[in-house]
Structure 1
Amino acid sequence: MELINSVTGADEEGRSRQRILTFAAKSAIQRNPEDYDALYNWALVLQESADNVNPDSTSPSKDALLEEACKKYNEATRLCPTLHDAFYNWAIAISDRAKMRGRTKEAEELWKQATQNYEKAVQLNWNSPQALNNWGLALQELSAIVPAREKQTIVRIAISKFRAAIQLQFDFHRAIYNLGTVLYGLAEDTLRTGGATNPEDVSPDEFYSQSAIYIAAAHALKPNYSVYSSALRLVHSMLPLPYLKVGYLTAPPAGEPVAPHIDWKRSQYVLNHEGLQQVNKLEQKQVQNLLGGPDVTNSEKRAIKVDVPDIVSVSACADLTLPPGSGLCIDTIHGPFFLVADSWESLDGWLDAIRLVYTIYARGKSEVLADYKIFGIA
């Protein structure tokens, strides 16, 4: 109560409310020391009080309030190990403590504790994109502190958390943006260490391109967010304009989804706000020239074209009718299209890009992707 009473920065009404809530929680604990709900509520009040501490205040310190909150969360989860909200908010409190310590060994330990609590929260409640996103952010912070030999492993785990958050909520623009930023950092690190050393490794340019796709998608979903606009100006040149994504997929002849494997051909595909389209040989030269020439997207020679409004679902698939590799199924109102990506990592990129384009279309924001002036090319 002493800590609550000495908080400066909140208005008197807010302090009064926090004192009442703290008194209620304390009274409940006195009546029943194993009342984990009361402990959880007490921790929430302490955490809220920490948020209200005046930045210039030294008494009480924000850290002291957060430390007390963590103790209450610890006790609440000891009494009720399935209290996922407590693990989630506990992780936030630990993260806030870690942020105050910069890039120190103490901060490293706190970030590790935060990731462990986010992991527990997700295990208890897997349908939480916010917890997955925060877990990815904590891992990203941790990767900036650990020795270089550990960094890339942690970054790749962070990428998987952001991607999992997006798969739960396709329009979760914060996770989409965060995935773009972590991929940009990975591109920078890969370039700094000499680039891809094996043919199967992803090149820095590919990481940059992937980063640009997510940042462009976040901007399309929230075009008024200045941070997204600023990031897009940085990465716009990394997009294969006028497309969002360009790459290779293996497909059967048009109209023959169960053709013999020998008849499946690997060719170039482009994705924009209208859909996924196969590139013919004439257009392929233009695409390979960084798409600097005229747009010829109306060619009738394409064997495969999937319009965004026709998409029902997009998923990875494993089927004996497909050639070996990373299978991709785009189910449409006209029936399914089966394709095979070059690798599982490439497949993830295609899945996310197609889903994001569809999500942007479903939210009525396709015109933002269509207006290439936002990418700074005009």
Structure 2
Amino acid sequence: MEAASADGDLLLRELALAANQYSSLEDASEGTSGQDFEVLYNHGLVLQELAGKVPAGSPEQLQLLKQACELYGSAAAARPSSAPVLYNWGVALADMGRLLKDSQPEEAMSCLQQASQRYAASLDLQPGSPQALNNWGLVLQEMSLLAGSAAEREVLVGYALEKFRHAVRLRPDFERGAYNLGTVLYAHAATLQADLASQLKAGRLTSGDAATSRERNAREARLRALFGAAAQYITLAAALQPGKDIYRRSLAVVRPLLPLPFLRAGYLTAPAAATLGGPCETWRREWFVLDGDSLRSASALESSLAGAAAGGLTGSAPTLRIGHAVGQVPLEVPLESLLGVRRVCDPSLPEGEAIWLSLSRPLSASGAAQRPHVAALAGGQHDPTGASAAPPCCCVWLVADDADSADAWADALLLAHHVVASRGADTLAEALLPLGGGGGAGGSRRSGSSGGAVLGPDR
């Protein structure tokens, strides 16, 4: 402990010395044609790092961050094309917002709004930075906590989720984005659950008329979907980084919310396997399950397992779950055969929100007789999103009921494939094991209740 304290004191002295040296260089350059960009930027970095070493929440910490922001502003004026300056300026502003959120919420919101603008400008100059997208998402989520209305909060949370999704779709190995996507979904679901409980306690939404029952059931169904999606992303983050303590502890909280032994379960409209790729495909809305092996139309047993594990909130209406019929060949997509997953818009498909899967091999012999637009892809054309890529051997289109469900399915497939390809199917299977009877088909569960646990962000 004494050695660690001595090392910390030495680092503080070194940072303070560096800050003084940069300040002297800035003083020496006054009156010249312009201040040196590198001096301004590095001085800001030193002050920002120094702010992280002083007592949290102290006036000194806030003052150091303000000074760092001023230096980043001068550096950005000297070199407007520097994405790192804008990024670190956003980090400092976000840190200021967190320090002020309890004592000065209006000032905190202003800092967070400015941080959001800096991250946006940084990404304009350097598109495709997962960490910038992740930080931007966290800032938007923190802004939602200071929002003045439920509608504004909903919009800001939606924007935050977009940033995290963009990050993980750019980099499926970016476990931090997957984890934060899960924690933001979880926190939002918990807020909506508290709102619903408050209304029920006040006697609202308790009437037995059809309209009130539909509204209550719809809100409860949305809560189940949000909590299930949150659990999915946190599970995938834990599978990507099994050794990270915060992921393991968060997984213990959300594991009972999964449709164990599966990562995800729900309805998808898909072509019947026997007609896949043929001239007259037959589309069916069926119950699908996803685990470490494949995405597949569920058997009767799998439907019952997923249904028992992912039971509804108290008072919710039961849902009929139908997979493939007995004797019918199920549609099954092995995770190892996935080449890509994208959300697409194709008006020729059944009504809903479409997902496009590119595969390394046909799913069946009938896959050789592909549809015209699949044959075009095999001939070397672009994929439906316009991106140029090596032609896959086969493609499958799936249709979800709504956009949120389609996004969750697409991300689950993309990230689960990456986990299996990089770490093996056993890693994901281990994350999906019920612990102590607390989840899965055989255990008791509470929809959305975490027993007071708080899932913190991973910055």
Q: 1:341 aligns with which of 397, 400, 408?
A: 400
Contact 2:137 2:160 in 1 (8 A): yes
* Range with bigger deviation, 236-245 or 249-258: 249-258
Aligned to 1:39: 40
Q: 1:113/1:21 Cα in 2 relative to 1: closer, same or farther (>3 Å)?
A: same
Aligned to 1:180: 182
The one-character-per-residue Cα deviations of 1:352-378 (angstroms, maximum 9, x if unpaired) are: 000111111122153232125754245
* Structure with higher RCO (Cα < 8 A, 6+ apart): 2
The one-character-per-residue Cα deviations of 1:203-242 (angstroms, maximum 9, x if unpaired) are: 1011010000011111111122221111111111100000
Residues in 1 aligned to 2:16 and 2:412: alpha-carbon distance in whole angstroms: 47
Q: 1:320/1:158 Cα in 2 relative to 1: closer, same or farther (>3 Å)?
A: closer
Q: 1:263/1:301 Cα in 2 relative to 1: closer, same or farther (>3 Å)?
A: closer
**Alpha carbon RMSD of aligned pairs, Å?**
3.0
Contact 1:73 1:86 in 2 (8 A): yes
| SS state at 1:289 partner | helix
Residues in 2 aligned to 1:63 and 1:284: alpha-carbon distance in whole angstroms: 54
Aligned to 1:161: 163
Q: Post-superposition shift, 1:44? A: 1.8
Matches within 5 A, 1:249-328: 249-258=268-277, 263-281=282-300, 283-290=302-309, 301-319=328-346, 321-328=348-355
Residues in 1 aligned to 2:175 and 2:335: alpha-carbon distance in whole angstroms: 20
Contact 1:21 1:45 in 2 (8 A): no
| SS state at 1:193 partner | helix
Contiguous gaps of at least 5 residues in structure 1:
1-6
- Percent identity for Structure 1 against Structure 2: 32
Instruction: Note if 1:131 corresponds to 2:150.
Output: no
Residues in 2 aligned to 1:318 and 1:133: alpha-carbon distance in whole angstroms: 26
Matches within 5 A, 1:22-61: 22-24=23-25, 26-27=27-28, 31-33=32-34, 35-53=36-54, 61=60
| SS state at 2:100 partner | coil
Aligned to 1:4: none
Matches within 5 A, 1:63-142: 63-103=62-102, 104-142=105-143
Q: Post-superposition shift, 1:347? A: 0.9
Q: 2:412 aligns with which of 342, 346, 353?
A: 353
Q: 1:130/1:8 Cα in 2 relative to 1: closer, same or farther (>3 Å)?
A: same
| SS state at 1:240 partner | coil
Q: 1:333/1:377 Cα in 2 relative to 1: closer, same or farther (>3 Å)?
A: farther
Contact 1:308 1:358 in 2 (8 A): yes
The one-character-per-residue Cα deviations of 1:334-357 (angstroms, maximum 9, x if unpaired) are: 122221111222110111000111
Q: Which amino acid counterpart does residue 65 of structure 1 have in structure 2?
A: L
Residues in 1 aligned to 2:160 and 2:435: alpha-carbon distance in whole angstroms: 29
Residues in 1 aligned to 2:94 and 2:310: alpha-carbon distance in whole angstroms: 44
The one-character-per-residue Cα deviations of 1:273-298 (angstroms, maximum 9, x if unpaired) are: 11101114564344333389xxx99x
Q: 1:53/1:125 Cα in 2 relative to 1: closer, same or farther (>3 Å)?
A: same
Q: Which amino acid counterpart does residue 62 of structure 2 have in structure 1?
A: D
Q: 1:223/1:85 Cα in 2 relative to 1: closer, same or farther (>3 Å)?
A: same
Contiguous gaps of at least 5 residues in structure 2:
1-7, 198-213, 312-322, 362-393, 438-459
